């Protein structure tokens, strides 16, 4: 490039002065927000040419202690051209006395006029975002994205209209409502779960019949099923609070307008992020659950740790075991840890053992550590879990169970309090993982969440001319 022309300062304000380039201190925090000058960059090359031909048209902005607040690209171009002095304007800011956060805010304030790249705008947005708040928002959206599943019936001849009987067992209803609302964080609940919750403080099934105490039998369960059907239809119990996990549906989908589709996709933009919180662990952890009805309860904990959960529904078919084996091999880890939740009955222990055995014998996974988290005999005794059935004599594992526990009483997973199952699972997980490494990944996810939120804001501003909510 040719030597720059002598600077014309006639258009500068009275507050502008010429200062030697050597005296100007570059703000070290500027690199945290803005890209560095590079002559290979077309925009930066054009800036250098403009300064060479016309001089610096807008003075650089300096703090009282001569830290550069605005004009880093102009200063770098001036140095590239070999200029000894540049026009500067001093402002009442003592940059050296500020914290790092305050310095970044000042730099953003004095660079509002700067034409910024998307990356620079994202960095500026990060100043307004608390990683903890962003992480909470990410987790909220993650939960909101989980669709509730319900049941449906075939379209058959319905016959004459028939109105369901109104609810007369008000105390029974009130008690059911109470336990459902108390367990709102675990919605949707199965009817089976509500059944066991009621056994903790049994109500009367009939308000005027003292002998109709709710007990652990089929009659009480049937009464509860009928009550919850009527209560949901009448609005006394929210539809979303109860599920039938054995009868899933597929939503047909569709939008009424393209605007509705655009609005949905805009809202969903960059909200599905989940960091693999287990990526730093030396082991690969999987959860195996016997009961599909408890899937929501257990998967809530599994998602906290980013651990896959396989629902077996008794003796599992081959496909779930194949998928689990594939995930383990893809992880590259040397050891597989299986955390298993099964009924306390003759088949419960065998389900856990056979699942692990199949992974070893059928899929050649030799380094397996299998743990039955629940239900154990200790759980049943310590928490006085209800049982309304005896072990099936027809079970091939009946004699083994009888010999080991000296009892024929069995307890389903559903009978255990949700908090007990979740607590035991969390304890089991944290007993086998590196907790410090896991917490480091959680902290990184919080930082990631802030960056994602900044990206969302910049994109929304570009699309709509305003920030995203």
Domains of the chain: 16-115 (3.90.1530.30), 170-235 (no CATH), 283-433 (3.40.1360.10)
The pLDDT value given to residue 317: 65
pLDDT of residue 244: 67
What pLDDT, on the 0 to 100 scale, is given for residue 135? Answer: 80
Specify burial of residue 229 (Cβ count, 10 A radius: 0-12, 13-18, 19+).
middle
**74/71 Cα distance (integer angstroms):** 5
The kind and range of the H/E element at 70 are strand 67-70
- Split at pLDDT 50, 70, 90, the class of 320 is confident
The three-point CA angle 333-339-341 to 5° equals 155
- Do residues 27 and 76 touch, judged by C-beta distance below 8 A? no
pTM, 2 dp: 0.55
Q: Considering only 90-104, 170-184, 262-276, 399-413, which range has the smallest mean pLDDT? A: 262-276
pLDDT digits (tens, 9 = 90+) for 27-74: 888 888 888 888 888 888 989 999 999 999 889 999 988 899 999 889
Greater confidence (102 vs 117) lies with 102
- Tell me the CA end-to-end span of the chain in Å, nearest whole number: 48
pLDDT, position 246: 53
Q: Say if CB 453 and CB 129 are below 8 A apart.
A: yes
> Highest mean pLDDT range out of 193-202, 224-233, 376-385, 429-438?
429-438
Q: Which residue has the higher pLDDT, 420 or 125?
A: 420
Tally the residues of the chain.
469
CA distance 451 to 459: 12
Kindly report the number of other CB atoms within 10 A of residue 291's CB atom.
21
Contact 370, 379 (CB under 8 A): no
Mean pLDDT of 241-251: 61
**pLDDT (mean) for 442-448:** 90
The mean pLDDT value for 84-95 works out to 91
Per-residue pLDDT band at 252 (split at 50, 70, 90): low
Look at strands 16-20 and 85-90 and give their pairing.
antiparallel
Element (H, E) at 453: helix 435-464
Mean pLDDT for 389-414 is 81
Closest by alpha carbon to 371, among 431, 443, 324, 326?
Answer: 431
Q: Which long-range contacts (CB under 8 A, 24 or more apart) does 39-46 make?
A: 39/80, 44/73, 44/76, 44/77
Indicate if the pLDDT at residue 114 is higher than 60: yes
Residue 75 has pLDDT above 60, yes or no: yes
Taking only the tens place, the pLDDT of each residue in 254-310 is 777 766 776 777 777 777 788 899 999 999 999 999 888 788 889 989 999 999 998
Highest mean pLDDT among 111-120, 190-199, 264-273, 433-442: 433-442
pLDDT score recorded for residue 152: 32
To the nearest whole number, what is the mean pLDDT of the chain?
82
User: Is the pLDDT at 154 greater than 60, yes or no?
Assistant: no
Given a cut of 60, is residue 147 above it in pLDDT?
no
* 424 closest CA partner among 378, 359, 355: 378
Query: To the nearest whole percent, how much of the chain has pLDDT over 90?
Result: 25
Map tokens 């000058």 to a residue.
37
**Mean pLDDT value across residues 223-239:** 88
Can you tell me the distance from the alpha carbon of 68 to that of 90, in angstroms, rounded to the nearest whole number? 9
**pLDDT at 95 exceeding the cut of 50:** yes
* β-pairing verdict for 67-70 and 16-20: unpaired
Among 352, 396, 407, which residue's Cα sits nearest to residue 374?
352
pLDDT at 146 over 60: no
Q: What pLDDT, on the 0 to 100 scale, is given for residue 145?
A: 54
């Amino acid at each position: 490039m040719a030597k720059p022309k002598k600077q014309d300062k006639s258009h500068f304000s009275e507050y502008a002065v010429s200062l030697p380039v050597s005296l100007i201190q570059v703000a070290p925090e500027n690199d945290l927000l803005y890209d560095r000058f590079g002559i290979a960059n077309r925009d930066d090359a054009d800036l250098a040419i403009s300064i060479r031909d016309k001089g610096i048209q807008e003075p650089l902005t300096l703090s009282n202690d001569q830290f550069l607040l605005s004009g880093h690209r102009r200063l770098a171009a001036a140095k590239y051209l070999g200029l000894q002095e540049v026009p500067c304007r001093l402002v009442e800011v003592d940059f050296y006395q500020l914290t790092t956060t305050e310095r970044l805010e000042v730099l953003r304030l004095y660079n509002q006029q700067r034409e910024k790249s998307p990356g620079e705008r994202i960095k500026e947005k990060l100043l307004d975002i608390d990683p903890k708040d962003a992480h909470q928002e990410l987790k909220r959206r993650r939960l909101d994205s989980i669709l509730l599943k319900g049941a449906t019936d075939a379209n058959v001849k319905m016959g004459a209209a028939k109105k369901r009987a109104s609810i007369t067992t008000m105390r029974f209803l009130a008690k059911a409502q109470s336990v459902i609302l108390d367990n709102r964080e675990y919605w949707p609940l199965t009817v089976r779960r509500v059944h066991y919750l009621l056994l903790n403080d049994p109500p009367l099934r009939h308000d005027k019949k003292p002998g109709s105490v709710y007990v652990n039998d089929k009659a009480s369960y049937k009464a509860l099923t009928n009550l919850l059907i009527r209560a949901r239809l009448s609005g006394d119990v929210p539809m979303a609070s109860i599920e039938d996990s054995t009868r899933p549906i597929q939503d047909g989908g569709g939008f009424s307008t393209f605007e509705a589709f655009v609005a949905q996709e805009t809202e969903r933009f960059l909200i599905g992020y989940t960091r693999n919180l287990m990526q730093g662990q030396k082991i690969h952890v999987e959860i195996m659950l016997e009961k599909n009805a408890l899937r929501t309860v257990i998967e809530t904990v599994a998602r906290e740790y980013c651990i896959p959960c396989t629902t077996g529904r008794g003796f599992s078919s081959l496909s779930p075991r194949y998928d689990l084996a594939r995930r383990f091999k893809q992880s590259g880890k040397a050891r597989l840890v299986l955390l298993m939740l099964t009924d306390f009955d003759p088949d419960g222990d065998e389900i856990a053992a056979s699942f692990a055995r199949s992974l070893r014998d059928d899929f050649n996974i030799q380094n397996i550590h299998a743990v039955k988290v629940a239900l154990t005999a200790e759980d049943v005794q310590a928490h006085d879990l209800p049982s309304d059935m005896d072990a099936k004599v027809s079970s091939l594992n009946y004699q083994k169970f009888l010999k080991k526990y000296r009892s024929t009483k069995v307890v389903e997973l559903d009978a255990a309090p949700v908090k007990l199952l979740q607590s035991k699972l969390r304890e089991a997980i944290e007993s086998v993982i590196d907790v410090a490494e896991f917490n480091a990944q959680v902290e990184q996810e919080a930082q990631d969440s802030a960056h994602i939120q900044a990206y969302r804001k910049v994109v929304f501003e570009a699309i709509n001319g305003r920030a995203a909510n």
